[in-house]
Chains A and B, each alone.
Chain A
Amino acid sequence: MGRPRVTVSDAGSVERSSSSEGEAAGDDASDVAAAAAGDVRAFERVYRRHVARIHSTAVRMLGAEEADDATQDVFVRAWQRLAQFRGESAFGTWLFRLAVNVMLSRREVVAIRHKRHVDDAALVESLSSAEASPELGLDFQAAIARLPPGMRQIFVLHDIEGYKHDEIAGMLGIAQGTSKSQLHRVRMILRRYLGA
């Protein structure tokens, strides 16, 4: 199951998360209980602990232009559903799963709005031929952002967030084999951007 690994400071530098998941879970437990009783300040603390992961994932799954609205939507939905959180998993796990569901719902509308009929094959081809077109100048994360949505979501969920193929297959409504083959395809593309 997915879990956070590192955080990025305001200055943008990548840091290993110093607070353990157990610590965050302990903080969450009391704040989530208070928030469920209507304590907005407690919910703000929950928001501040989790917003970086949710927003970063939204950027990767939906694009930067959708990320702010999606993040707000996730936390408003979380607030509305706090009573459904039974503590059977860590709150962060529950929240992230909720976030992924919200983002997967939004991606359909985003795709409609952006006339999803962007030629995925052409997109993959343009990324795959980066060696022949070094002037493309994409770095690793920019290359992720350029991936077709379906491939990008599989990569984000598996390689960045640590979900397993069976979980991803369930979330995206695809076969496990599709998740595996698409992931391999993405990795074969992204290896061209390792040096950037």
Chain B
Amino acid sequence: MTDSWTDRLSEYVDGELDPRTHAALEAHLATCASCRATRDELERVVARARGIGYREPATDLWGGIETSITGNAPRSGRRLVTLSWARLATAAAIVAILAGGFAWTLASRRAVVVVTVPSSPDTTATGVRTPALPATGMAVASYRDAAADLERAFEAGRTTLRPETMRVIEENLRAIDLAIAQTDSALRRDPGSAYLNQYLAATMQRKLKLLRRAVEITTARS
């Protein structure tokens, strides 16, 4: 059972009501058994939450952290500012590396980035587990140009596809574009996050794979 005072009970429990409202609610509590019971339960919830402890992780995570930081001394005072384009280029580089390198890397030579991948196959700069990467430096072109090239090829051949195939491809592309936009938005707030960069790269890779597959289908049908 609830009444108009029920929604104020958490504020009462937390001592956040102004004195006048606090006094009025106290007067109500004196006459309302239901609200008194709810107040008691809310107090027990708060007490229970405050008693919740902290637990060590089941596995020791230090090894991965140590691998990531060894040889990388803490940065000096000035905070690094990562520009959006730099992020994108880095992500594109990771895309190409994850993809193993494709012909599209030759399509644009305007924004070539050279990336040296750590030799350890199981960890990245954050210690987050990722698929094994080739341990060589690799030159790659920008993701945007590659995606644009593939999109143009796809558009040119789209009339060869059945409507249901088109619908599936377009729905997937929209979902991937949304994921890219949301991840990029998160990166604007947290530009140094290797995790977000990696996720962005992986999502871009998904888009390129999907586009490549779509182009292959249109080519086979033409």
Contact = CB atoms under 8 A, between A and B. Distances in A.
Interface of A: 4-8, 10, 12, 14-15, 35-36, 38, 40, 43-44, 47-48, 51-53, 55-57, 59, 67-73, 75-77, 79-84, 101-102, 105-106, 108-109, 112-113, 140-141, 155, 159-160, 162, 165, 180-181, 183-184, 187-188, 190-191, 194
B42 A191 contact: yes
Interface residues of B, number: 56
A76 B67 CA distance: 10
Interface stretch (B20-28, B74-82, B135-143, B159-167): B74-82
Contact of A56 (B50, B55, B76, B79): B55
A159 B70 CA distance: 37
Contacts of A44: 62, 66
Interface of B: 7, 9-11, 16, 38, 41-42, 44-46, 48-57, 59, 61-62, 64-66, 68-70, 72-77, 79, 125-129, 178-179, 182-183, 185-186, 189-190, 192-196, 199
B57 A55 contact: yes
A105 B199 CA distance: 12
What DSSP secondary structure best describes chain A's contact surface? helix
A7 B127 contact: no
Contacts of B61: 51, 55, 68, 71-72, 75
A69 B65 CA distance: 10
User: Counting chain B CB atoms within 10 Å of each CB, which of A15, A79, A80, A183 scores highest?
Assistant: A80
